[in-house]
Structure 1
Amino acid sequence: MSLFKDLGLNDWLADQCTAMGLSKPTPIQLQCVPHILQGDDCIGCAKTGSGKTAAFALPILQKLAEDPYGIFALVLTPTRELAFQIAEQFSVLGKPIGVRVTVITGGLDMMKQGIDLSVKPHIVISTPGRLADHINSCKTFSLKRIKFLVLDEADRLLEDNFGSQLEEIFKVIPTKRQTLLFSATMTDTIQQLQEVSTNKPFFWQQQSSVATVDELTQTYVLMPADLKDAYLIHILQKCTTENNKGSIIIFTSTCKYTQIIGMICHELGFPTVVLHSMIPQKQRLAALAKFKSNQVQILIATDVASRGLDILTVDFIINHNVPNRQKDYVHRVGRTARAGRGGLAITLVTQFDIKLVHAIEEFINTKLTEYKTVEKEVMEILTEVTVARREAEIKLDEQDFGEKKAINKRKQLILEGKDPDKEGKKSRRSKEEKEAKNKKYKERFIGKKKKKQNR
C-alpha cells in the first residue's frame, strides 16, 4: 500500500494528511504529486470525489515550505463556493507552516480584498472576474513572482465566458511558472492544450468506461410536466422517511425556480436552504455552512453548487431538471457517493426530456434505472403542492424577484446622466462582442502554442 511519504512528501505533510483522516493517496494523487514536485506542468482528469484538490495543494505547500514568500501560488476556479472550499483545504493542510491564504471573489468588500492582497498572502484563490477587476484597478499587489498557476475545474474556465478575464490575468503573471490544470471531465480544449503545449505537461486521466463512480445508483422518474413539483415532494417524503438524517441536494435550472421550490418545501414542512447567484455572498456561505453542519437536511441550488463542493454526507441528489449539457449531469451527481460512500441520484424526467436522458446515458455509458414512486400518493398531495407553488409565485412577484437588479442598474445609469434604454442596447451588443472575443481568445491561446511548437 502506497503512503503519502512514498510520493516524496515531507513528514510534516504526510502527518497532516493522516490527521485529516487521509490514510492513503488516491490514484490522481499517486500519479500527479511526484511529477509536480519534480517541476513538471500537469493536467489531471479524474472523477468527482477523487482528491484532485489535495493533488495540487500538497506539492504546492511542500515547495512553499522550502522557499516561503508571497504571492507564491494563484488558484483560479469558476465558482465562489469552490474557492472557499479550496482555501479551507490549503489552510488545514498548511497549518504546520502557518500558510496565509486569501480568497478573492465577487460579492465581498473589494477594498478589504485589496488590503488582503497587499500584505502578500502565500496562496491566492480567486474567481477570474474579481481578480481581473483588482488587476485593472489596484496597484498594491503583484503576481509577477508566482511559482504556480492552478486552473481548477479547468474545462469550465477555458470553455465558458472567462476568456477575456483570463487574458487580463495572464498578462501579469510570469511565463516561467508551473501550470496545473485539473478537472473531472475531459474536453477537447484540454486535450488540445495537452497536445500543443511546449512544456509537454505530464498528463493523467483516470481510465474508466463509466464517467461516474460505481458506488452511485442513478435513477429516473418519468412524469407529466405539470406534475413535476408534486412528484418532487413525494420523492422528498420517501427519502426523508427512509433516511431521516440523510442530506439531500436538489438541483434546478434557474435562480427563480430555486427560490420557488425552497418556498414550496418550507410551506410543506421541509426545512431547506437555497443557494444561487442572486443571493448575497455572506448569505450563500451561511446557507452552505448550515447544510454542511447538518442543521438543515435539504439544499436547493442552481449549478453554482455542482462544481467541486466536497460534502461527504450527501446521500441523495435530485435533478429537478435534466441538464442540457451531459457533463453538468456528471458534476451534479458527483456531489454524492464521494470517498467510497454510496449515494443515490434521481432525475425527474418529463415527456420533453427523453432525448436529453438518452444523451446523458450515452455520455456516462450507464443506463438509468427507474425509481419507484406511487402515483396515487402523488395525486393525494397535488392540490396542496399546487396551492403552495402559486403562493410562492405571488410572493416573488410582490418582491420583484429578479427585477431588483435591473431596476437598480437603471437607477444608477439615470444618476450618471445616461439613457438606460440606449445603455441596454449597448450592453446586449457588448455581450455579443464579449462572446466573440472569448471565442477568438481560445483560438489564439491554442494557436500561439502551436506556433511555438512548430518553431
Structure 2
Amino acid sequence: MGTTSFPSLGLSDWLVGQVNAVGIKDPTPVQVNCIPPILEGRDCIGCSKTGSGKTAAFALPILHRLSEDPYGVFALVLTPTRELAYQIAEQFRVFGSHIGLKDVVVVGGIDMMKQGLSLAKKPHIVIATPGRLADHLANTDTVSLKRIKFLVLDEADRLLDPSFEEALEVIFDHLPKKRQTLLFSATLTDTIGRLREVATNEPFCWEAPREEATVEELDQKYVLMPAKVKDCYLIYLMEHLHNEEKKTLILFTPTCRSCQVYSILLRNLDYPCVALHSILSQSQRLASLNKFKSGHVRILVATDVASRGLDIPTVDVVVNVNIPASSKDYIHRVGRTARAGRGGLALSLVTQYDIDRLKSIEENIKTTLTEYDSKESEVLKLLNSVNVAKREVEIRLGDTDFGERRKINKRKRKLLEGYVKARKTKKKT
C-alpha cells in the first residue's frame, strides 16, 4: 500500500491534528495497512513488532467512529496486564481529548465499588483485564456491553491462553453478535486459527513482512556460566552496566518470588531498583513503574507482566535472568529495548541447563546471539558477598506472608469457574 500520510488513511481532520500535535508525522506500516479496513467496518488481525504503533492502529479508527456517533459504552479493549491497560488508556486520552473522551480502566487491585460507579456513568471506552471485568459482569449490573461497536484484544495471543479462558467466556456472553473485532499482537502465528474464530466475520489479516522477529537495532548477546554462580554474574553485570556505563535496565525473572528475591538482593548490595510482579498491590505496581519511567531508579526487576506492550523508550538493556521457555516470550521481553529506532542490548544469562532453549530461540528468531565479554576472575571475587546476601534475603522473605495474595486470587478464580458452570447449565436447560 502506497499511503504515507494520516489524512490519506481516511481519518477525520481533527484526529489528524491530534496526531500531529503529539509529534507523530507519518503512519507506521501497521497503521497504514490496518486503519483503512477498520474504517471500512471490517474485523482486523494485525501482527507487527513491538514498538511499531499497534495501539494507535486501533485507537485512531475507534475515535474516528466515536466522534461520528458518540455514546457509551462504545468500545471494549482487553489486555493481559494491568500496566498495559493504563498505558492504552493514556494513549486514548491523548488522541481523544478533543472530543471530551470518557474512559475507565477496570483492573484488579482497585476497589470494585469505585470501579462500579465509574462504569455506571457509561464511559465511551472501557480498557480492562479479563478477570476483573468478568467479576463485574458476573456479580454486578453496573455496566452493559450489549451496544458496543468495537471489541479489541491487545496482545491477543496471550489473552487466548487457558488462564484467561473462564473470564473470556463470561465477557463474550455479554457482548453483541454484531460488532467489529480487532486483534493485535507481536506474535500471532501459532494462534491465527483461534483468532479467526474470535472474529465475528471474515477478518482482514496483516502481518509485517520480516525475516527476523526482533529489530535490527537490537544487539543480542549471551553470558555462559555455571548455574551455581549465576547470581555472581548478575551482580558483575550490574557493576559494569549500571554503575560504570549508567544504563537503564529491565531484569526479567521467571517467578514472582524470584523477582522479589532479586529486587531485595540488589537493594542490599547498593543497586537501587524497583520490583514489578503480580503479587504486589496495584498501587505498589504503579509506583514501581512510575519511579522507573521517571528515571528515579534505573533498574526494574520484573516478571513477564512487564514484557507485553509497555512503552518505555529509555530502556537501554534487557537482562534475561532466566531463558524463557518459548521464543514468543523472549521476543516480547527483548522488545522492551531498542524501541522507536533507538539502539538497545539484550543479555541472556545462560547456564549448562539452558543450551537447548537458547538454540530453539535462535532458530525461531533467525538470529544467532553472540557472547558477551566477561571476566570470570572478577566474577569469582563476588562469590562470598553475594552468597551471604542471598541467604539473608531468603531468610527475610520466609518470615513474611509473601504469596498470600496469590491464594486470594486462586479463590477468586474458583468462584468465577462456578459462575461459568452455572451459566452453561442454565443455557442447556
CA distance in 2 between counterparts of 1:405 and 1:204 reads: 38
Give the letter for the 2:186 counterpart: A
> Quick one: structure 1 residues 29 and 364, their matched pair in 2 at CA, closer, same or farther if it must change by over 3 Å?
same
CA distance in 2 between counterparts of 1:160 and 1:404 reads: 21
Spell out the pairing of 1:194-205 with structure 2 (5 A cutoff): 194=196, 199-205=201-207
Q: Which residue of the other structure, out of 191, 204, 220, is the alignment partner of 1:218?
A: 220
Give the letter for the 1:267 counterpart: N
Partner of 1:166: 168
CA distance in 2 between counterparts of 1:266 and 1:222 reads: 25
1:305-334 alpha-carbon deviations (Å, 9 max, x no partner): 011001011010000000012110110000
CA distance in 2 between counterparts of 1:191 and 1:369 reads: 35
Larger displacement relative to structure 2 (293-302 or 164-173): 164-173
CA distance in 1 between counterparts of 2:406 and 2:48 reads: 38
CA distance in 1 between counterparts of 2:405 and 2:398 reads: 11
> 1:404 deviation in Å?
6.8
> 1:197 deviation in Å?
5.8
Report if the CA contact (8 A) 2:251-2:318 is conserved. yes
Give the letter for the 2:151 counterpart: L
> Quick one: structure 1 residues 69 and 125, their matched pair in 2 at CA, closer, same or farther if it must change by over 3 Å?
same
Report if the CA contact (8 A) 2:318-2:334 is conserved. yes
Give the letter for the 1:348 counterpart: L
Q: Which residue of the other structure, out of 166, 181, 184, is the alignment partner of 2:183?
A: 181
CA distance in 2 between counterparts of 1:149 and 1:196 reads: 10
Partner of 2:427: none
Aligned to 1:162, the other structure's residue is in SS state: helix
Spell out the pairing of 1:136-151 with structure 2 (5 A cutoff): 136-151=138-153
> 1:405 deviation in Å?
5.5
Give the letter for the 1:50 counterpart: S
Aligned to 1:94, the other structure's residue is in SS state: helix
In structure 2, the gaps of 5 or more residues are 425-429
Give the letter for the 2:317 counterpart: F
Give the letter for the 1:347 counterpart: S
Report if the CA contact (8 A) 2:43-2:200 is conserved. no
> 1:14 deviation in Å?
1.4
CA distance in 2 between counterparts of 1:403 and 1:73 reads: 35
In structure 1, the gaps of 5 or more residues are 410-423, 442-455
Aligned to 2:160, the other structure's residue is in SS state: helix
Aligned to 1:309, the other structure's residue is in SS state: coil
Aligned to 1:218, the other structure's residue is in SS state: strand
> 1:236 deviation in Å?
1.2
Spell out the pairing of 1:330-349 with structure 2 (5 A cutoff): 330-349=331-350
CA distance in 2 between counterparts of 1:196 and 1:96 reads: 32
1:322-362 alpha-carbon deviations (Å, 9 max, x no partner): 00121101100000111111110000000000000011001
> 1:196 deviation in Å?
9.4
Partner of 1:44: 46
Report if the CA contact (8 A) 1:159-1:189 is conserved. no
| 2:77 is the alignment partner of 1:75 | yes
Partner of 1:313: 314
| 2:382 is the alignment partner of 1:401 | no
Aligned residue pairs: how many? 417
CA distance in 2 between counterparts of 1:63 and 1:198 reads: 19
Give the letter for the 2:154 counterpart: D
Aligned to 2:382, the other structure's residue is in SS state: helix
Q: Which residue of the other structure, out of 87, 90, 93, is the alignment partner of 2:92?
A: 90
Aligned to 2:163, the other structure's residue is in SS state: coil
Partner of 1:420: none
> Quick one: structure 1 residues 330 and 381, their matched pair in 2 at CA, closer, same or farther if it must change by over 3 Å?
same
Larger displacement relative to structure 2 (311-320 or 168-177): 168-177
Partner of 1:283: 284
CA distance in 2 between counterparts of 1:23 and 1:334 reads: 23
Give the letter for the 2:49 counterpart: K
Give the letter for the 1:2 counterpart: T
Q: Percent identity?
A: 60
Report if the CA contact (8 A) 2:260-2:275 is conserved. yes
Give the letter for the 2:347 counterpart: I
Partner of 2:120: 118
CA distance in 1 between counterparts of 2:286 and 2:116 reads: 21
